Structure 1
Amino acid sequence: GVIGLGLPTVSLGLLAAVLDLPTAMALLLVPSLATNVWQALAGGHARVVLARIWPFLSAAAVTVPLGAEALTAVNPALLAALLGLLLVIYALVNIAGVRVALSARQATWAGPPIGAVNGILTGMTGSFVVPGVMFLQAIGLPRDMLVQAMGMLFAVSTAALAVALQDNDLLSVSLGAWSALALGPAAIGMALGQRLRRRLSERRFRQIFFVALLVLGMGITARSLQDAGSMDAAGAETRSLRGVSGRSPDNRRLRLRLPPNQPD
């Protein structure tokens, strides 16, 4: 509510620190979609913003299912490490104050490919911010319009992610119910944040936010790489046992060698 991007970014990072990545992504669907639709519509500039960024948004949405294919094909710990790395990159860029400016002409041709990259990374990690938010910051939108534009990006990305998770059998009724229960606290926090936006020093709050995001991303990356290493070691041990026994160690059977029948 304060800076327009805290809910999906921070919540996904915190959930991914204690849960597997697909579960964390599923739990965020309802609160992320609801709060970002709200954010996208609040402010009175929705038509103007949409007219400027619809090619970018379209590419960001249609490529999410492509990235989501990795959720069932790649070691989930590696995808969580990628999420942590994206959070680190985004935090460092904002802490350093790096800004890129794109003209209207540059934004027209750069929007679709940047949106496509953002969509693929969203499908793989559930994170919407890299490089999508950087693009929205670069096209020179006023503050309130930028907040609306980020709400649009997060809303369409969340909707596409829900479809992708369902297609990959990673979304269950129970996860949907838990996600719906998270909507209440998320809405309260969003409302409080929007009120605080007018009272707090946004610059100071952003500094604290991105330092915390940096620490969180580094922690997720380190833990996930450690988990990936442990899983690879376990897989190597399993393959070794299979090579010795000729079958899976879980299916090995004890074979008794009986002496041949002796004449009476």
Structure 2
Amino acid sequence: MESAFLNAQTALIGFTFLLAGLVKGVVGLGLPTVAVGLLGLAMPPAQAAALLVAPSMVTNVVQLYSGPRLGQLARRLWPMLAAICAGTWLAAALLPASLMAHATAWLGMALVLYAVLGLAAYHPKVPAATEAWLGPLIGVVTGAITAVTGVFVIPAVPYLQGLELDRETLVQALGLSFTVSTVALAISLALNGALLHTPVLGASLLALVPALGGMYIGQWLRHRISAARFRRLFFCGLLLLGAELALRGAF
């Protein structure tokens, strides 16, 4: 019985990261969101987030170095990036256990919000004069949501989209934000003991294989399917998944 359960869980992890990598390969983001969302159906968000660390780190570093403006982006975005780290660590240390006990519901609500914004094609414009104070605020909120749910797209992604960067620079900016968020989350999990167990580290490293395979397939598909249609299907699926997790966590 225990062997069958482990085999089923291994299959779920492999399928999840293959699908999450495929989504990232096509649309340039979504690996942590899809992975934590689907794994959240079978395990607590904190455990799902621990499995996410290696695949997210490697795929985001690849994306991070895909453009020519890394230094320029780092200088522009460092207040938001520093605030993401601070928000993640402070939330993990200070939020009450009663709130963390409802992490599945919070994860579901975060996915629903992200899906609704995606389907509405919401792209706010961020005036340059507001970046000095808005960037750190966005970072702290993103970090707090990351600490609770393991998802680091809200509100960082809409904010970065609102900076009116060209496509290549935006992809690199997303990679930079996701990489910093993953590092902050990994440190938080390590301090809490969630990453110190060899089976968790091994499973996270093994998840790299399907994640990179899915990403390669997604990049191959990117030029053969409608990215806009795929994005709509992605957000519709995310909306349903988020609603199911929110309802499950609430009852």
Q: If the length of structure 1 is used for normalisation, what is the TM-score? A: 0.81
Gaps of 5+ in 1: 227-264
| Structure-2 change in CA distance of 1:103 and 1:76 (3 Å) | closer
C-alpha separation between the residues in 2 aligned to 1:4 and 1:212? 17
Question: 2:122, 2:158 within 8 Å by CA — same for their partners in 1?
Answer: no
Question: 2:49, 2:150 within 8 Å by CA — same for their partners in 1?
Answer: yes
What letter matches 1:107 in structure 2? E
Which of 82, 85, 89 is residue 58 of structure 1 equivalent to? 82
**Are 2:218 and 1:193 equivalent residues in the alignment?**
yes
Structure number with the higher helix fraction is: 2
After superposing the two structures, state which structure 1 stretch, 184-193 or 47-56, moved more. Answer: 47-56
C-alpha separation between the residues in 1 aligned to 2:143 and 2:249? 22
Deviations 1:100-149 (A, max 9, x none): 10122222321011111111111111110111111111111112211111
Structure 1 segment 195-234 matched on structure 2, within 5 A: 195-226=220-251
Greater relative contact order (Cα < 8 A, sep 6+)? 2
Q: Greater CA radius of gyration, 1 or 2?
A: 1
Which of 14, 39, 51 is residue 15 of structure 1 equivalent to? 39
C-alpha separation between the residues in 2 aligned to 1:136 and 1:99? 9
Deviations 1:199-253 (A, max 9, x none): 3222111111100000010011111112xxxxxxxxxxxxxxxxxxxxxxxxxxx
Q: Percent identity?
A: 44
C-alpha deviation, 1:50, in angstroms: 2.1
C-alpha separation between the residues in 2 aligned to 1:23 and 1:45? 34
Question: 2:79, 2:135 within 8 Å by CA — same for their partners in 1?
Answer: yes
Q: Across the two proteins, how many residue pairs are aligned to each other?
A: 226
C-alpha separation between the residues in 1 aligned to 2:53 and 2:203? 10
Aligned to 1:24: 48
Question: 2:104, 2:248 within 8 Å by CA — same for their partners in 1?
Answer: no
The root-mean-square deviation of aligned C-alpha atoms, in Å, is: 1.6
Aligned to 1:95: 119
Gaps of 5+ in 2: 1-24
C-alpha deviation, 1:24, in angstroms: 0.6
Query: Secondary structure in 2 aligned to 1:74?
Result: helix
Question: 1:70, 1:124 within 8 Å by CA — same for their partners in 2?
Answer: no
Question: 1:63, 1:120 within 8 Å by CA — same for their partners in 2?
Answer: yes
C-alpha deviation, 1:76, in angstroms: 4.4
Aligned to 2:201: 176
C-alpha separation between the residues in 2 aligned to 1:43 and 1:192? 21
Query: Secondary structure in 2 aligned to 1:63?
Result: helix
Deviations 1:23-75 (A, max 9, x none): 11101111011111111111223223223212111111222112223687235
